[in-house]
């Protein structure tokens, strides 16, 4: 969900106003994905690198995420959406926010609709470090692709088919590094607060026109997992 700060700066507003505008985009795009029958929808809400932002903005983002969970969890629950989180729960994440995350996950855990995965204090490298550490802790001597996959934060989550990066940046920025090995990447110039259902549709159309070969020559093979 990139481009919130620039969206605000373009309007002479504080960066936090861009994050606030990003909430509308998030729920509109989530609706659009749900209406299309998308089963897994993951958003990058706060990265392990975002702690480097000015303390005021970090504080704002922590509180903002908490508020969104409080104000939206019931509505998401009514829509049969399951909420889960990926990321490291280290001491920098306030206890209160962790409790909100646990509440939202518990409330919606039996829902059978779309799974909304919120990446919070998430970094792809950190996820791999944590996975390998847990494999070592289990006493196993052999590390395999399968064992790494099984020790990711959300082991049952399928690898993403499509990853959309907004705001004209052409990077993966430490997002789902392991899971993204064969994802199709779509880059959009639109700043996140302006991103709407039609932008999602355009990205999915672009995805549908891609030829996915997963390292093979095409045809029926899927990803190895």
Q: Which residues are catalytic?
A: 2, 50
**Least distance between ligand FPP and beta carbon 112 (Å):** 21
**Least distance between ligand FPP and beta carbon 181 (Å):** 24
147-149-150 Cα angle (round to 5): 65
Q: Is residue 114 a contact partner of residue 38, using CB atoms and an 8 Å limit?
A: yes
Residue 217 CB neighbours (<10 A): 7
**Least distance between ligand FPP and beta carbon 120 (Å):** 7
**Least distance between ligand FPP and beta carbon 165 (Å):** 11
Distance CA 223, CA 215 (A): 9
Interface residue with ligand FPP, options 29, 33, 68, 200 (CB under 6 A): 68
Is residue 69 a contact point for ligand FPP (CB under 6 A)? yes
Is residue 23 a contact point for ligand FPP (CB under 6 A)? yes
Judged by beta carbon, residue 50 or residue 174, the one nearer ligand FPP is 50
Is residue 45 a contact point for ligand FPP (CB under 6 A)? yes
* Among 132, 152, 205, residue whose Cα is nearest residue 42: 152
Q: Is residue 161 a contact partner of residue 207, using CB atoms and an 8 Å limit?
A: yes
Query: 87 to 116, contacts with ligand FPP by CB under 6 A?
Result: none
Judged by beta carbon, residue 61 or residue 93, the one nearer ligand FPP is 61
Distance CA 24, CA 223 (A): 34
User: 150 Cβ partners below 8 Å, 6+ apart?
Assistant: none
Judged by beta carbon, residue 154 or residue 181, the one nearer ligand FPP is 154
């Amino acid at each position: 969900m990139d481009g919130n700060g620039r969206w605000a700066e373009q309007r002479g507003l504080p960066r936090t106003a861009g994050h606030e505008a990003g909430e509308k985009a998030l729920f509109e795009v989530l609706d659009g994905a749900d209406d299309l029958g998308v089963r897994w929808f993951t958003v990058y809400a706060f990265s392990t690198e975002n702690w480097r932002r000015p303390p005021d903005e970090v504080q704002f983002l922590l509180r903002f995420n908490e508020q969104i969970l409080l104000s939206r969890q019931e509505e998401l629950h009514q829509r049969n959406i399951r909420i889960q989180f990926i990321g490291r729960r280290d001491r920098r994440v306030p206890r209160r926010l962790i409790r909100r995350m646990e509440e939202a996950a518990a409330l919606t855990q039996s829902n059978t609709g779309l799974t909304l995965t919120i990446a919070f204090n998430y970094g792809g490298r950190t996820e791999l470090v944590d996975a390998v550490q847990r494999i070592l802790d289990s006493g196993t001597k052999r590390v395999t692709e399968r064992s790494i996959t099984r020790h990711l934060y959300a082991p049952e989550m399928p690898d993403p088919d499509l990853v959309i990066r907004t705001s004209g940046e052409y990077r993966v920025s430490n997002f789902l590094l392991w899971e993204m090995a064969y994802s199709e990447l779509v880059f959009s110039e639109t700043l996140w607060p302006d991103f709407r259902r039609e932008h999602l549709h355009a990205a999915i159309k672009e995805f549908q026109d891609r030829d996915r070969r997963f390292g093979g020559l095409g045809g029926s093979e899927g990803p190895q997992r």
